[in-house]
């Protein structure tokens, strides 16, 4: 990979000639006429025509202004009033399992009860058997090959009685085929066969590990082994550490499978109107390797432009101690902090300061509301991943000293305040050492930024810290949040309008696989504050306009990755990354926006068609 120039000189000269003389040096490849173009460009918010040559936009404006770019070989498309918008930026996603989900695993997002979970699993199991795609996995516990049924996207709070299917329920789907189901955030459900692959026989107490009878002593807030009436594990594990007790039995995808899954996932994202993404890598170098392999396989042209954060968790060294010196040694070995081009770039380091709101492990000042499965009751305030402020400063300081911008998962107000205080010290230091450098650090999720004395809004705005938020989390997981923190705090959860009014830049992503990757769900949530399958609205005064929401998914996402001069809006010399919608977006009802993915007709990345809806033809006038 190599860094490329932002704009070819010939395009800048061509645009200047056009503006001054009305002449074009060369006709466009594609011209869109009679469109409703929402440019997201402050200088020209609306337009009706657009011209593309090569991978760039060469004209935007009225029909009269764009028609001179039409030549004998130009494809001219009458949009018939359809809406054209910039390609959507997905600012926080983990794509690696998306293609795998579409082709192999079961997405349980829409399950309303245990019976739905069983039916969805049984249907996919039968499909895989019919297609002879079931027996392809190597069991890590014994290196034998056999079938496996994977699922993801569940949370018990979406299900009737708030109970996830346990091993007994899953055994009714299959007693012989191992089943493992990933929760939307830090959880796992498995059938009895998975226990057996680990050597645990429920009929033989001599095979039971200590945690069969009682929770491990190192368990903290949010770590739960669900148990049946006998007191033994029922196959449902919640938290970060608890799922690891059985995860060793689950087979991993090969590099080739992961590359295939990534590319298939990108193709699906393009069908939703997504043209750029930020992969918030959670394992050092591992995710980057998959992207690099996909980039090489596609000769440097990925279906979706990708910026990858290297995964810097709390513990960043092989021994897992989080030693700042070990971080420095790794950075010295890497030797870069920003590498790549406009299709694939590695820049930025992701860390994590706390857990999740749904898992009751985010670090809050006020305690969580008591629920039966949480033994800490009203004493649970979550936990910081790094208790020591000084150690956090040294860890983050090592990254900053080597030029890595920092992006930190922080959800609870205590965690957000910790991150902001660390950022302020380091950003002040960098401003003194490198005053000409701009730092675009972010806080990811940012659920509780405005909790009384812990409000960080003024500091975040003053220091230019970006809120990398996930409205889809509120839509899909909001019921669990209300259950855990109550209606009053839920009304302040990710307060969109308050953040906007405080001058905080918001960039939006789905946080897939914790939620489906459909960006229109996030836009809908910002417009309505609605929660899936829930009538009550919390924080109805925190909604924003369609223009504001679109900005968070377009130009603000490009700004997060220093790409606002190249993409994120539709303007001359920017990349021709755009989406054509078979709809009048400006007059669409809220429910129509929620389903807007069905109206994506064409997605272009650099002028290249990466998605076209079945049955759609460009036509001509």
Domain chopping of the chain, boundaries: 9-87+578-612, 98-247
User: Residue 3: what pLDDT?
Assistant: 35
What DSSP character marks residue 416?
H
Which whole number is the average pLDDT over 123-147?
91
pTM of the model: 0.88
What is the structure's pLDDT at 382?
A: 94
Neighbours of 525 (CB within 10 A): 26
CB 603 within 8 A of CB 611: yes
Mean pLDDT of 401-430: 97
Q: What is the pLDDT of residue 147?
A: 95
Residue reference for tokens 């498309």: 77
DSSP 151-190: EEEE-GGGSGGG----HHHHHHH-SSS-EEEEESSSEEEE
pLDDT above 80: residue 227: yes
363/412 Cα distance (integer angstroms): 5
At 22 the pLDDT is 54
**What's the full length of the chain, in residues?**
621
For residue 500, give both structure tokens: 């906007």
Report the pLDDT averaged over residues 161-190.
93
The dihedrals phi and psi of 555, each to the nearest 5 degrees, come to -65, -35
The first and second tokens of residue 577, run together, are 């990354």
Which of 30-39, 220-229, 406-415 has the lowest average pLDDT?
Answer: 220-229
Mean pLDDT in the chain? Answer: 91
C-alpha–C-alpha distance, residues 283 and 31, integer Å: 43
Dihedral angle computed from the Cα positions of residues 515, 521, 523 and 529, in that order, rounded to the nearest 10 degrees: -90
User: Does residue 222 carry a pLDDT above 90?
Assistant: no
Two tokens at 60?
């935007």
Whole-number percent of the chain with pLDDT over 70 = 93
Q: What integer pLDDT is reported at residue 110 of this predicted model? A: 84
Contact partners, residue 296, CB within 8 Å, separation at least 6: none
Query: Could you tell me the CA-to-CA distances from 407 to 181, 351, 353, 521 in Å, in that order?
Result: 28, 6, 10, 24
32 Cβ partners below 8 Å, 6+ apart?
49, 50, 51, 77, 79, 84, 580
- Identify the pLDDT of residue 601: 98
For residue 595, which of 520, 508, 523 has the smallest C-alpha distance? Answer: 520
What integer pLDDT is reported at residue 421 of this predicted model?
Answer: 98
Mean pLDDT of 25-33: 93
Asked whether residue 385 carries a pLDDT value surpassing 50, the answer given is yes
For residue 19, count CB atoms less than 10 angstroms from its CB and return exposed for 0-12, middle for 13-18, buried for 19 or more.
exposed
Question: Are 574 and 353 in contact, with CB atoms under 8 Å apart?
Answer: no
Residue-wise pLDDT for 521-571, tens only, equals: 999 999 999 999 899 999 999 999 999 999 999 999 999 999 999 999 999
- State residue 515's pLDDT score: 87
Can 9-87+578-612 and 98-247 be said to share one CATH topology? no
Q: What is the mean pLDDT of residues 455-479?
A: 96
Residue 358: how many CA atoms within 13 Å on its side-chain side?
A: 24
Distances (CA, A) of 101 to 105, 216, 271, 382, 517: 4, 32, 16, 31, 12
Q: Are 529 and 480 in contact (CB under 8 A)?
A: no
pLDDT number for residue 314: 43
Average pLDDT (223-244) is 94
Could you give the CA distance from residue 494 to residue 498 in angstroms, rounded to a whole number? Answer: 9
Task: Give domain 9-87+578-612's CATH architecture.
Answer: Roll (2.30)
pLDDT digits (tens, 9 = 90+) for 318-373: 444 578 888 888 888 888 889 999 999 999 999 999 999 988 999 999 999 998 87
Would you identify the CATH topology of the domain 98-247?
Answer: Diaminopimelate Epimerase; Chain A, domain 1 (3.10.310)
* pLDDT level of residue 160 (50, 70, 90 thresholds): confident
Which stretch of 102-116, 205-219, 537-551, 575-589 has the lowest confidence by average pLDDT?
102-116
Greater pLDDT, 143 or 271: 271
pLDDT at residue 4 is higher than 50: no
> CA–CA distance from 3 to each of 71, 116, 302 (Å)?
33, 49, 16
Tokens 């230019």 identify what position? Answer: 464
Would you state the structure tokens that stand for residue 381, as one six-digit string? Answer: 């305030």
Residues 6+ apart with CB under 8 A from 428: none
CB-based contact 534:521 (threshold 8 Å): no
Would the pLDDT of 118 be above 60? Answer: yes
For residue 148, count CB atoms less than 10 angstroms from its CB and return exposed for 0-12, middle for 13-18, buried for 19 or more.
buried
Mean pLDDT of 264-293: 91
Rounded CA separation 571/563 (Å): 13
Q: Tell me which DSSP letter residue 575 carries.
A: B
CA angle in degrees (0–180, nearest 5) for 45-570-555: 85
């Amino acid at each position: 990979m190599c860094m490329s120039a932002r704009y070819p000189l010939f395009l800048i000269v061509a645009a200047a000639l056009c503006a001054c003389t009305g002449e074009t040096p060369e006709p466009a490849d594609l011209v869109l006429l009679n469109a409703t173009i929402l440019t997201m460009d402050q200088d020209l918010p609306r337009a009706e025509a657009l011209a593309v040559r090569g991978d760039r936009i060469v004209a935007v404006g009225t029909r009269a202004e764009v028609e001179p770019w039409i030549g004998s070989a130009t494809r001219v498309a009458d949009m018939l009033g359809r809406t054209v918008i910039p390609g959507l930026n997905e600012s926080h996603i983990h794509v690696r399992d998306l293609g795998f989900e579409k082709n192999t695993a079961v997405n349980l997002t829409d399950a309303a009860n245990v019976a739905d979970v069983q039916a969805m699993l049984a249907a996919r199991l039968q499909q895989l058997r019919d297609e002879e795609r079931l027996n392809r996995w190597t069991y890590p516990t014994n290196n034998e090959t056999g079938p496996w049924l994977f699922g993801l996207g569940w949370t018990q709070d979406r299900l009737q009685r708030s109970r996830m299917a346990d091993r007994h329920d899953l055994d009714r789907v299959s007693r012989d085929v191992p089943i493992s189901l990933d929760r939307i955030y830090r959880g796992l459900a498995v059938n009895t066969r998975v226990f057996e692959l680990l050597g645990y026989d429920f009929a033989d107490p001599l095979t039971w590990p200590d945690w069969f009878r009682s929770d491990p002593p190192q368990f903290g807030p949010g770590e739960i082994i669900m148990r049946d009436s006998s007191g033994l594990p029922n196959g449902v594990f919640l938290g970060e550490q608890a799922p690891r007790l059985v995860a060793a039995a689950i087979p991993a995808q090969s590099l080739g499978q992961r590359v295939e899954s990534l590319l298939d996932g990108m193709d699906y994202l393009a069908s939703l109107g997504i043209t750029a993404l930020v992969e918030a890598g959670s394992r050092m170098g591992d995710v980057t390797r998959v992207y690099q392999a996909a980039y090489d396989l596609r000769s440097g042209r990925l279906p979706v432009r990708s910026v990858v954060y290297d995964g810097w968790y709390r513990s960043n060294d092989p021994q897992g101690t989080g030693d700042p010196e070990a971080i420095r040694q790794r950075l010295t070995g890497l030797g870069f902090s920003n590498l790549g081009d406009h299709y694939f770039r590695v820049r930025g380091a992701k860390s994590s300061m706390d857990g999740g709101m749904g898992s009751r492990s985010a670090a809050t000042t006020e305690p969580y509301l008591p629920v039966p499965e949480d033994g800490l009751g009203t004493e649970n305030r979550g936990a910081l991943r790094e208790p020591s402020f000084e150690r956090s400063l040294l860890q983050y300081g090592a990254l900053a000293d080597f030029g890595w911008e920092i992006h930190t998962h922080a959800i609870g107000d205590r965690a957000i305040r910790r991150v902001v205080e660390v950022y302020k010290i380091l950003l002040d230091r960098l401003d003194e050492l490198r005053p000409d450098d701009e730092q675009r650090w972010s806080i990811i999720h940012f659920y509780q930024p405005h909790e009384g004395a812990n409000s960080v809004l003024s500091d975040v705005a003053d220091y230019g810290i970006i809120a990398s938020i996930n409205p889809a989390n509120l839509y899909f997981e909001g019921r669990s949040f209300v259950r855990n923190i109550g209606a009053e705090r839920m009304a302040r959860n990710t307060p969109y309008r308050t953040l906007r009014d405080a001058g905080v830049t918001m960039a939006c992503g789905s946080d897939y696989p914790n939620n489906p990757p459909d960006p229109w769900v996030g836009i809908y949530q910002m417009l309505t504050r609605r929660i899936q399958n829930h009538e009550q609205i919390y924080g109805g005064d925190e909604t924003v306009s369609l223009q504001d929401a679109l900005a968070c998914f377009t130009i603000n996402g490009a700004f997060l990755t220093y790409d606002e001069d190249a993409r994120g809006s539709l303007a001359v010399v920017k990349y021709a990354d755009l989406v054509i919608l078979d709809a009048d977006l400006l007059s669409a009802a809220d429910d129509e926006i929620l389903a807007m993915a069905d109206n994506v007709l064409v997605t272009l990345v650099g002028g290249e068609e990466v998605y076209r809806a079945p049955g759609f033809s460009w036509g001509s006038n």
